[in-house]
A and B are shown apart, each in its own frame.
Chain A
Amino acid sequence: MANVTLRNVRKTYTGGFEAIKGVNVDVADGQFCVLVGPSGCGKSTLLRMVAGLETVTGGEIDIGGRVVNQIEPADRDIAMVFQNYALYPHMSVYNNMAYGLRNRGMAETEVKSRVEEAARVLELTSMLERKPRQLSGGQRQRVAMGRAIVRQPKVFLFDEPLSNLDAKLRIAMRVEIRKLQRRLNTTSIYVTHDQLEAMTLADVLVVMNGGQVEQVGNPLAIYEKPATTFVASFIGAPPMNLMSTRADEIKSQLNGAATEAGILGIRPEDFVITDQTPAGGVALPLTVEAIERVGAETFIYGSREQEEQRVAATPGELPPGEVIVRIPGTEAPAIGARIRVAAIRPKLHLFSGDGRTRLEA
């Protein structure tokens, strides 16, 4: 059992490229920390630095009160689950799990009892003699998990472990990983680019972008109060609608401190179709351009009257002037219809013009 602390951790490659630009994260003992961000944001590099597979060029990585910057991966008392599972193809499932224990000189009887216990937990008992190539993707994933848990390490590291599985299995394994982690109560760091995986797994969510931490915190707190426009559009699907407050139709509806803001954000689910304008809120006329019905909910893609340049460069970018509205059920206006949507004041997110600061109204 251990906490993991990153203090101003940096990674600069020899060419001068700065992959990690000073990251501070504190993961308490037994917590499940998820690093999330778009590809290339440095989240995997950061995880590999914790594992000891990449050198640290600045700052300190502390595992259980010990600075591990100069310590070999083997001596950090961590276990890692890789994206491609990295099973030893020439070893049976049993030997894959036993390898790490034998390397540490554990007695064969103890090895056997630990491997069999892990196999029982992960429902691999009938496959212990098989080679990895005789297993399905989900089974391989479980072997990789088994290899991590038999060691009973201080920290689990997961590098996008579910991204090679199909959608259905991914959800099932996600729940399994969370249940297992809660039962073992082992500190875990999990890397993913899937914001849904991040939201559902994390005790602590770390949103990264361009080698920097954008926001750290409880997933729901981040969802409710994103600190930057990047976080606002990355966390939540479909992404938050971000609009410039310079547009006249919006500017005229804002008052007080809100007039200072450069960017207004409203989540698709916070809109309602209505003719009224809530006090202090924002109402927008839209023309319906597309409808997506997914059963329990419907997404309306509408265009604003006024074309405007979108303000922040964000993942999941919409064409300028487009607004997504989420409504429950399958009832929806016809394509081409003109509707009016509104959001109440507490549901407005205000950001500075560069998108880097959240403003509280």
Chain B
Amino acid sequence: MQKQAIFQSKLLPYALVAPQLAIVLIFFYWPALQAVIQSFLLQDAFGLSSTFVWFENYIELFKDPAYFEAIVRTFFFSFAIAVSSLSFALLLAVMADKPLRGSMLYRTLLIWPYAVAPPVVGVLWIFMLHPSLGVLSRYLRGMGVDWNPLLDGDQAAALIILAAAWKQISYNFLFFLAGLQAIPKSVFEAAAIDGARPMRRFWTVTFPLLSPTIFFLLVVNIVYAFFDTFGIIDTMTRGGPGTSTVTLVYKVYSDGLLGGNLGSSAAQSVILMVMVIVLTGIQFRFVERKVTY
């Protein structure tokens, strides 16, 4: 079998890859380059002129305590979203893996939320937890909780984490279920005969055998929490109250588009770009190593 295609013309292969290359160049490399250039420029207050200032935008950024707060907050959010969403998805997957009646139905239902766009997720949760509109807010207040995420920063953060984690559960669930089904049932049966109780079986057999899936999902979830939570934050809190739900991505948007500080915003997006490159690098290296236990 011939695996390599042979072209008569030297130009044809280039012509064939050109559309793809054009898309990548126009929609990724060009904006990325623009961002890098922009990050070296400083705008005047009216946006009429800009000066080349080398690394001043970056230096300013790292001197700014608000930026550090956003970094810490973003890491905290990512960690909280990834851990809560992964553990809940794993719990659901372990339960859904049992051969019960109607398993196709509830597996499908569990996967559905993934089809919901992040801003819609935000709106859905607002309907449930808005201090004056929310259905659940009434019950919370009934139980004596002073629930008001519009004023309380911690509650707002909790709300964002809840909505973002919920959205990601289906995706994680799908991978966990596939991971569980890839483990031969007889391994669990052997462990049961070997005297391991369900909890011990989970921690000594299921969990280690799922570790490749868990690691993969951890990276995917962190990337998600870093970047894709923008829609949820924008619809639910707009970074508020104060700056208590401003993550790095939201800060790029609010400093640049709302604050008009394009240089700083560009510098921030360059930093984010480096982060996502590092994360993707980790993931690629990991995916290449097929067997991990």
Contacts and interface: CB of A to CB of B under 8 A. Distances in A.
Interface in A85-136: 86-90, 99-100, 103-104, 131, 133
Interface in B177-197: 184, 186-187, 189-197
Contact of A82 (B186, B197, B291): B186
Contacts of B211: 90
Given A84-B184, A86-B186, A99 B204 contact: yes
A122 to B, nearest CB: 17
Contacts of A90: 208-209, 211, 293
B194 A147 contact: yes
Contacts of A151: 194
Nearest to A79: B193
Nearest to A157: B193
A195 to B, nearest CB: 25
In the complex, which of the residues B192, B193, B195, B211 has the most CB atoms of chain A within 10 Å of its own CB atom? Answer: B193
B141 interface: no
- Main secondary structure, interface of A, reads loop
A61 to B, nearest CB: 15
B189 A86 contact: yes
Contacts of B190: 80, 82, 86-88, 147
A357 B102 CA distance: 45
Chain B interface size band reads: 20 to 34
A53 B189 contact: yes
Interface residues of A, number: 25
Contact of B187 (A79, A86, A100, A133): A86
Nearest to B211: A90
A84 B184 CA distance: 9
Given A86-B184, A86-B189, A90-B209, A103 B291 contact: no
Nearest to A98: B194
Interface of B: 184, 186-187, 189-197, 200, 204-205, 208-209, 211, 291, 293
Interface of A: 51-53, 72-74, 78-80, 82-84, 86-90, 99-100, 103-104, 131, 133, 147, 151
Given A80-B189, A86-B187, A88-B205, 7 more contacts: A53-B192, A79-B193, A80-B193, A86-B189, A90-B208, A103-B196, A147-B190
